[in-house]
Structure 1
Amino acid sequence: MKGAAGALPPRLLLPDAPALVAPAPGSAVLLTPDGELSTLRAAAVPAALRELGPPILVHAPATAKRLNLPALPGAWDLLELFAFCQPALAAPPTPRGLALALDLPPPPDAESAAALLPEIATELLRRLARARNAPLNREAAALAARLRDAADWPWADSILAALGQPGARPGRDALKVWRALPEWEEAAPSPPPASLPVSPAEARTRLAEILGESAEQRPSQADFASAASLAFAPREAPGEPQLVLAEAGTGTGKTLGYVASASLWAERNGAPVWIATYTRNLQRQLDQELARLYPEPEQRRQRVVIRKGRENYLCLLNYDEAASGAMPGRLLPLALVARWALATRDGDLLGGDFPGWLMELFSAGAISLLADRRGECIHSACPHWKRCYVEHSIRRAAGAHLVVANHALVMVQAALGGGEDGPALRYVFDEGHHLFDAADGAFSAALSGAEMAELRRWLLGSEGGRGRARGLRRRLEELLAEHPALLPPLELVERNARTLPSPGWWDRWAVLPEADEQRAEDRGEPPDDPRPVVARTVQGEPAETFLRAVRTQILARTAEADPLYDAECDLHPLHEDLPDAAARLEDALERLRAPLKHLAKLLADLLEDPDQELETGDRIRLETATRSIERRALMPLAAWVAMLARLREPPSEPGQRPTYVDWLALSRREGRDVDAGLHRHWLDPTVPFATQVAAPAHGVLIASATLRDAARKDPESAWREAEARTGVQHLPSPAIRAAVPSPFDYAANTRAFVVEDITRDSPGQIAAAMQQLFRAAGGGALGLFTAIRRLRDVHARIAPALAEAGLPLYAQHVDAMDSATLVDIFRAEEDSCLLGTDALRDGVDVPGRALRLLVFDRVPWPRPSILHRERRIHLSGGRPGGYDDAIARHRLRQAFGRLIRRADDRGVFVLLDSRTPSRLLAGLPEGVVPQRLGLAEAVRQTATFLSQTPSPPGC
């Protein structure tokens, strides 16, 4: 009997395929269709699959890598099925992670995981069948039929059966998701905001409302909310924001503490508060916490907006162009993106509700190139502009109560003069201890091959390739027909842009464009072009000559270092090749900048010409083009010219404090030199942060669990150092200081050990120590390394033994997954182990038993570099060693903070570095007494401590 719309009743159609799980590198568990379980070595897997057929599995690339296989063709990957049936739903990409996401009993071991895979497929298809008439699934059958016929996708027939449409025909328009997306509409300008304050008592009341009557009473959280409210008082003088510097120990609940004041101020005054944190992962965590304030999803969508740079969002024009000519091999990733695009909250491809593991399933760029590339957006000239995810978020942010951004976006917009969202009046900088590093990246400049090549791409678009990059001519094409005066400067820009590095420049380090001509001159042959070489527009010249000169100086001034590592050298004294190469490049950049300035002026003049009867679309295109040329081309060109001009100046006197630090750097990848350039950073990047971001605001709250150096016995000096690291000292009015201690009992719930009887430079000893400690903890262990090479070596040594003990091991730079995916797995797999580097040291929230042991391979000293050397000299207050100590202490304290996220958490912190100075351990939380002992004793105490049942909080 047919159902609605001619469909048949849904049917669950499962593949007659084996189920495969790779619990550890080199081993697999295989479940045959007949129900026979077997454990195989990796070498035996191909033969088994040739007999049984492609398997059902989770994450085919990661599984293949664990089994040392090039690929697993034809595999029934449950992640692909999950992405089709449950788009925009989060799930760690493991059998246990999918089970948790689908409310199925999680498997306790690899054998159970293999047996669970068909059940996961069944549950996914059952859910799709129940929702087959939902608007989301209107084109699902047509899309699945296209994947069946054009891409031979294994899951297509199962999906069509679940939808009750086994005979569905491929839909030609099934990928055109933009047709179902809403359009934004322009709204009237917002009225000017009021300046009504939020009192400490009101902040406490709002906090209580958010938490509810049944919430645990945390006086420290209410105290923090009171302190945070002081940043929302009216500003008294221009350039002097109400400034609060607040340290809230781990467990205080600082997020809801400041959200109480921020949300109340936004409601009263009719303007959003911008909450900035350090990473995309932390943005996601903060957004999840805001569900306490706005529990209804639609209400939260209206009042909370996540803002990121354009490169984070799906570009509908890139997607449209990719889908229009999609080859069969590219069809599946586009189809899964189409499913997600209909369900996503805001179109964020990186860190939002888009599963990060989905990019890992396909070839490089299959999905990532669908995002907007830097400066490529053509704005109102785009046919999808009215449905654009970015434009939606910008307009929603203007009327939101809370805008959750990251430090980088806030600072880049300030550097660009306000950005697309305009200046904010009130900021909350969470993870404020990262402000120095965030400002360092935002207010720096690099005259490198990659940066110059990117500008060339932006100006010229794709050159001779199949890329979708759109050049300046494409962005202006609708204006050129009506305003031909724009054409001559544009043509001059295009001609001069060819002096920037051309595609493939990194393969020409030793090739000089003049070489062939010089050989012709030696033979007495006349050159083809009568002009001097310097005067010609040669592809990639003189930029590539400058890059070769930079590389030459670096190689001459540095030791014969490991080719796997980057190299750098001081700018002065200059190599003999560099001044002339720099002068030629400076001249070329000026010749490019002049017509760009003229073009920008012509565009601006058209906007102000009273004789021009411009339609709204044309006016928007003109404004957008003018702004884009200024920000994307003229600003970097001005910085590069200033940096090159610096080469003509004499070097600074030794000991003289510079405003900027300039140096030369060479980037390497897999033993190859891939980039070179001149770099410029502020000596103290909090200066531009204070003047360009904080000073124009009316109120700024800087909050962190680790603002001060806990080793400082003098509270005043500790606060002064915190003010220096956050830029507060550069503002005219002093900050209000507040400190709320952590409510956690670190003395009872943690242990800290320094292992003294192993050699930190011995990979074998480090690996053995980590293996023993990880097994003693029963998993839930995070190993942190200061070098990727050591991480990989340790992983190779310990993975098989941990697998035999039933402890899955994952690792950055080893597994075919990004760090966010690995953290999601680590959080879901309670007894797994994870190896990582700096990215996992702080800002990762893994509460409960999933993280109960943290092991450092050695002290995380700052990396010795020219930039660090100059800051060590000039920002240390005369104590260079103390500057390094403070950084290392801070990193250890941040890592220690990952262990205890809830009152009943227990954790062990271990340093496998016998050279650890005691002064560094003084930065650990109060009550923690580090013990120096041998490895065997550390292992025994770790096992004993973590096996104990924690006492209830408050006992």
Structure 2
Amino acid sequence: MPAPRLLLPDAPALVAAHGRATLLTPDGELLELPAEGLARALADHPPPLLVHAPATARRLDLPRFEAAFDLLELFAFCRPAQLAAPTPRGLAMALDLSLPQDDAAAAALLPEIATVLLRHLALGRGTPLNRDAGILAAQMEKAAAWPWAPAILAALGVEAPKPSLDAHKVWRRLPEWEDPGPPQPPASFDVSPTEARLRLGQILGEGAEQRPQQADYASAAAGAFAPRDEKGQPRLVLAEAGTGTGKTLGYIAPASLWAERNGAPVWISTFTRNLQRQIDQELSRLYPDPEERRRRIVVRKGRENYLCLLNLEEMLGQAGQPDMAIPLGLVARWALATRDGDLMGGDFPGWIGELHGPHAIWPLADRRGECIRSACPRYKQCFVEHSIRRARTATLVVANHALVMVQAALGGGEDGRPIRYVFDEGHHLFDAADAAFSAAVTGAETAELRRWLLGAEGGRSRARGLRRRIEELAGDLPDLLPPMEAALQAARALPGLGWSSRLSEEPRPAASEAAAERQANPTEAFLRAARRQVLARAEEDDGLYDQQCDLHPLGEGIGEAAEALERALKRLEEPLTTLRDRLQARLEDDVSELETGDRIRLETAARGIERRGLLPLKAWQAMLRTLAAPPPTPGERRDFVDWLAVTRREGREVDAGLHRHWLDPTTPFALNVAAPAHGLLITSATLRDAGLAEEPEAAWAAAEARTGASHLAAPAIRAAVASPFDYAARTRAFVVTDVERTRPGQVAAAMQALFLASGGGALGLFTAIRRLRECQQRMAPGLERAGIPLYAQHVDAMDNATLVDVFRAEEDACLLGTDAMRDGVDVPGRSLRLLVFDRVPWPRPSILHRERRIHLSGGDPKGYDDALARHRLRQAFGRLIRRADDKGVFVLLDRSCPSRLLAGLPPGVQPRRVGLAEAVAETRAFLSEGAASDGTAS
């Protein structure tokens, strides 16, 4: 094998700001160019060396680069499954290089980054990971003229390997999962407060900073790991831990000790992906050895988050296309190195989708429920199946509220039924349960069931339909065929292809038999009737957002349409029930005869019919029967809230239908999740309403109502640990009184002035996506001219985790976001030193919220809204100070903010109402204090 050599491209290094570029030529000449002069400068050189070609082009207001040496692609190839923020500074941090202080230094750093990456590849050329790397690079060069291929082949020491798609077929090299066998019953040893403190000390190590609040918190959390005394009465601890307490390690201490001692996993659940990833990273302190950590810690998410190997195999037909060859090659590299195959928030570089378009990444996951489970030829290598089996023998499983609740509602699901939980971000349990235990009879939901039953009726899809799934089993079970045929015939009552375009059509004489069949479709008839009632009764609007109306009194024709649809759904439910019963009977009657593979296929088919077909059909029929029941009387409290809605996307109608939510969603949470468990810790920095500080019992009662604790027979153990931070000294809070919040121009100008005053490091939070986009367009030019990059959720095509990584790495960058950026984001240090809210985050008016204000507010609807807004402001404020030495400024651009809402801010914070000019001056002065002396000036 030839010796490896470093072959760097003879290309200029390019770093872009808004409207201007810094170019370092191969001759060492450093040029500062306006955007319009860059094209002329590049004309005499090879394609440039840069980081993130689409973002570079966007900042320069240029067309997409036809060719470029993008260091992100090289990084993803040489260091697969390693995360880095997609900027020169972010790559430098990931590679432990000196951080550039300006664009000129960044341009000079780019060749060094390329050198480090290629050297890393050369040193590892004999490893199993790089066995087929040369073949893969050659294929990427052949299909897409990938510019990095020659440098990679030189670093690997290979010459002209034969291009082949074989290197993309990573499933050939992935390990197969093994079934761990049935789990043993867990023991019932408890964890004492003293033991929890000792384990915490072991995790922190010798010489760690003494944090008495953290040890107190660990002691309190241990109460959730005592044996329960009565069935249905779990040991429940509600623990509020102020920011800076260190609650993550505080609950990991007793949780890990209980799991190791009793031989069963503890499930740690979060609301946001950001916190899920943060907890996973924190666990490296508990299990530093990567192999032990992989064995003991499992991150669990829904199937739609993982790489589907069958989807990858099917997409390889596109690997010869120039626009797909590079992303599929990078995915193949990542698939061999990934810890668990998580495409969303795991170790997959989220910026690959922005480099090559979402069409290159989104189809790789099973987002349409097309998984064929045991019938899949890649079943034994499946990342999801691996994670399910690893979770059964893990010490700690890091999941999310949505997965936990859905699995519990299904009786435990694939992961079994955990008996010990930690619910972090416990203040979001109400919202998570609201989403998990809701139902909707809409076009999207019902059409999805039709597709699952009938398969792909047009377009590209792997949806095989019920016929193919059942015919594979029917050789030995001919009695499956009649109910299958009946179910397929009945499924045609669900919306057919193109249903959304027919929502606004009124019945008229059919021009053909197919048109007559569509008009007679009972689901589409119901959707049209629902839409008609919504448009007749909803308030006039600007046509951009969803509309809704009360179900009663019923509009003309909707009752009859609901009855017809209910009958049609019943005709579908009956044969599906027969199918399920006959499959289950075979499992029970032929226990000794069935091979393991046959049993898996039968179980999968029966479970799929139950969950994908029968469960939604029963829920939909129950909802439709509501239309024939007597309407509620004014003020009557019911378990469910039903309403009709029209859904819009970007101002275009896309769906309509009937929606149902629990009035109090913590009721099904308590019944399905909490009561069957043996112990739960529900924790957050904001469990209680700070506005009730003068009434501690009322504050705890409200927390118990929002978390479902009030529905359990045994009382919860309450614990509260105050934040150790000195908010009075380290923060400032202002309400700006002379900005009109309804004028986007004023809001954008005010936010820009504040961002400039802080020198960057600012997070702007919006309560509406449209306003965020308007302000981003107005703010970006001025900020970027000042050398302050501006990133924005719903504008930049990066996922939220990548945006936060960029924001954290780029100390002087600014970020705009909505709710997802308000919670669960951990950005310590100067990278987040200013937080600006565009307006008070009141709950959005809706029929569901109206009913909850009436029935869940304890007679104080106004106070109910206040509590929600206070929680959101307090959560946002909590992003500012993450370490004792952080400093931060909080600004609200809403002069109408009532003073009572500001009681949600931490103790010691004294908000002041000031004009914008004063807020800007004070922000600049406060954040610059001490900056020069400690070397942190921006």
Match of 2:363 in 1: 369
Letter in 1 for 2:99: P
Q: Does 1:568 align with 2:562?
A: no
**Distance in 2 between the 1:51 and 1:456 partners?**
58
**Distance in 1 between the 2:439 and 2:292 partners?**
41
Match of 1:425 in 2: 419
* CA gap 1:597/1:317 in 2 versus in 1, 3 angstroms: same
Match of 1:55 in 2: 48
Q: Contact (CA 8 Å) 1:247, 1:740: kept in 2 or not?
A: yes
Q: Deviations over 1:882-920 (max 9, x none)?
A: 001000000000000000000111101011111111100
| Residues matched between the structures, number | 931
Q: CA deviation at 1:41?
A: 4.2
Match of 1:673 in 2: 653
Any unmatched runs of 5+ in structure 1? 1-6, 521-526
Q: Contact (CA 8 Å) 1:436, 1:685: kept in 2 or not?
A: yes
Q: How does 1:665-704 map to 2 (within 5 A)?
A: 665-704=645-684
Match of 1:225 in 2: 218
1:451 corresponds to which of 441, 445, 448: 445
**Distance in 1 between the 2:58 and 2:526 partners?**
41
Q: How does 1:310-329 map to 2 (within 5 A)?
A: 310-324=303-317, 326-328=319-321, 329=323
* CA gap 1:499/1:77 in 2 versus in 1, 3 angstroms: farther
Deviates more, 1:45-54 or 1:156-165: 45-54
Q: Does 1:79 align with 2:60?
A: no
Match of 1:157 in 2: 150
TM norm structure 1: 0.95
Q: Does 1:488 align with 2:468?
A: no
Letter in 2 for 1:775: L
Q: Contact (CA 8 Å) 2:763, 2:835: kept in 1 or not?
A: yes
TM norm structure 2: 0.96
Q: CA deviation at 1:855?
A: 0.6
Q: Deviations over 1:275-316 (max 9, x none)?
A: 111112211100111111111111111111111111111111
**Distance in 1 between the 2:87 and 2:799 partners?**
14
Q: Deviations over 1:815-839 (max 9, x none)?
A: 2322222111000000111111111
Q: Contact (CA 8 Å) 1:786, 1:838: kept in 2 or not?
A: yes
Q: CA deviation at 1:850?
A: 0.4
Q: CA deviation at 1:324?
A: 4.8
Q: CA deviation at 1:492?
A: 2.3
Q: Contact (CA 8 Å) 2:318, 2:324: kept in 1 or not?
A: no
Q: CA deviation at 1:48?
A: 4.7
2:748 corresponds to which of 745, 757, 767: 767
Q: Does 1:555 align with 2:555?
A: no
Q: Does 1:941 align with 2:922?
A: yes
Letter in 1 for 2:60: L
Q: Does 1:205 align with 2:188?
A: no
**Distance in 2 between the 1:559 and 1:27 partners?**
47
Q: CA deviation at 1:540?
A: 8.6
**Distance in 2 between the 1:372 and 1:362 partners?**
20
Q: CA deviation at 1:117?
A: 2.3
1:836 corresponds to which of 801, 817, 821: 817
Letter in 2 for 1:947: S
Q: Contact (CA 8 Å) 1:85, 1:125: kept in 2 or not?
A: yes
Q: CA deviation at 1:808?
A: 1.0
Q: CA deviation at 1:150?
A: 2.2
Q: CA deviation at 1:47?
A: 5.1
* CA gap 1:825/1:635 in 2 versus in 1, 3 angstroms: same
Q: Contact (CA 8 Å) 2:318, 2:325: kept in 1 or not?
A: no
**Distance in 2 between the 1:491 and 1:66 partners?**
57
Deviates more, 1:382-391 or 1:221-230: 382-391
1:783 corresponds to which of 754, 759, 764: 764
* CA gap 1:64/1:583 in 2 versus in 1, 3 angstroms: farther
**Distance in 1 between the 2:591 and 2:867 partners?**
63
Match of 1:166 in 2: 159
Letter in 2 for 1:650: P
Match of 2:703 in 1: 722
Match of 2:180 in 1: 187
Q: How does 1:457-856 map to 2 (within 5 A)?
A: 457-511=451-505, 515-517=508-510, 538=518, 541-610=521-590, 613-712=593-692, 713-856=694-837
Q: Deviations over 1:337-383 (max 9, x none)?
A: 11111101111111111111112222333222111235322222222
- Percent identity at matched positions? 70
Deviates more, 1:809-818 or 1:304-313: 809-818
Q: Deviations over 1:842-877 (max 9, x none)?
A: 110000110000011111111111111111111110
Q: How does 1:389-404 map to 2 (within 5 A)?
A: 389-404=383-398
Q: Contact (CA 8 Å) 1:501, 1:539: kept in 2 or not?
A: no
**Distance in 1 between the 2:532 and 2:772 partners?**
32
Q: Does 1:341 align with 2:322?
A: no
Q: CA deviation at 1:482?
A: 3.1
**Distance in 2 between the 1:165 and 1:424 partners?**
51
Match of 1:144 in 2: 137
Match of 1:910 in 2: 891
Q: CA deviation at 1:612?
A: 8.0
Q: Deviations over 1:642-691 (max 9, x none)?
A: 11111111210000111111111212122211111211100000000011
Match of 1:100 in 2: 93
Where 1:226 maps in the other structure, the secondary structure is: helix
Q: Deviations over 1:581-601 (max 9, x none)?
A: 222222221222121111111
**Distance in 2 between the 1:364 and 1:560 partners?**
35
**Distance in 1 between the 2:118 and 2:60 partners?**
29
Q: Contact (CA 8 Å) 2:85, 2:802: kept in 1 or not?
A: yes
**Distance in 1 between the 2:318 and 2:754 partners?**
53
Q: Deviations over 1:72-96 (max 9, x none)?
A: 2222222111111110000011111
**Distance in 1 between the 2:787 and 2:439 partners?**
48
Match of 1:524 in 2: none
Letter in 1 for 2:394: A
* CA gap 1:548/1:33 in 2 versus in 1, 3 angstroms: farther
Where 2:472 maps in the other structure, the secondary structure is: helix
Q: Does 1:269 align with 2:297?
A: no
Deviates more, 1:416-425 or 1:478-487: 478-487
Match of 2:3 in 1: 9
Q: Deviations over 1:455-487 (max 9, x none)?
A: 122222222222223322333342133323222
Deviates more, 1:359-368 or 1:743-752: 359-368
**Distance in 1 between the 2:74 and 2:201 partners?**
43
Q: Contact (CA 8 Å) 1:65, 1:815: kept in 2 or not?
A: no
Q: Does 1:306 align with 2:327?
A: no
* CA gap 1:49/1:542 in 2 versus in 1, 3 angstroms: farther
Q: CA deviation at 1:502?
A: 2.2
Q: Contact (CA 8 Å) 1:778, 1:807: kept in 2 or not?
A: yes
Deviates more, 1:207-216 or 1:114-123: 114-123
Where 1:794 maps in the other structure, the secondary structure is: helix
**Distance in 2 between the 1:582 and 1:50 partners?**
66
Where 2:904 maps in the other structure, the secondary structure is: coil
**Distance in 1 between the 2:66 and 2:154 partners?**
23
**Distance in 2 between the 1:540 and 1:33 partners?**
70
**Distance in 1 between the 2:820 and 2:29 partners?**
41
Where 2:839 maps in the other structure, the secondary structure is: coil
**Distance in 1 between the 2:367 and 2:602 partners?**
20
Question: Which runs of 4 or more aligned residues in structure 1 lie more than 6 Å from their structure 2 counterparts after TM superposition?
Answer: none
1:357 corresponds to which of 348, 351, 355: 351
Q: Contact (CA 8 Å) 2:881, 2:888: kept in 1 or not?
A: yes
**Distance in 1 between the 2:59 and 2:496 partners?**
38
1:387 corresponds to which of 381, 393, 397: 381
Match of 1:4 in 2: none
Where 1:174 maps in the other structure, the secondary structure is: helix
* CA gap 1:498/1:612 in 2 versus in 1, 3 angstroms: farther
Letter in 1 for 2:539: A
**Distance in 1 between the 2:56 and 2:658 partners?**
42
* CA gap 1:782/1:365 in 2 versus in 1, 3 angstroms: same
Q: Contact (CA 8 Å) 2:351, 2:802: kept in 1 or not?
A: yes
Match of 2:235 in 1: 242
Q: Contact (CA 8 Å) 1:500, 1:540: kept in 2 or not?
A: no
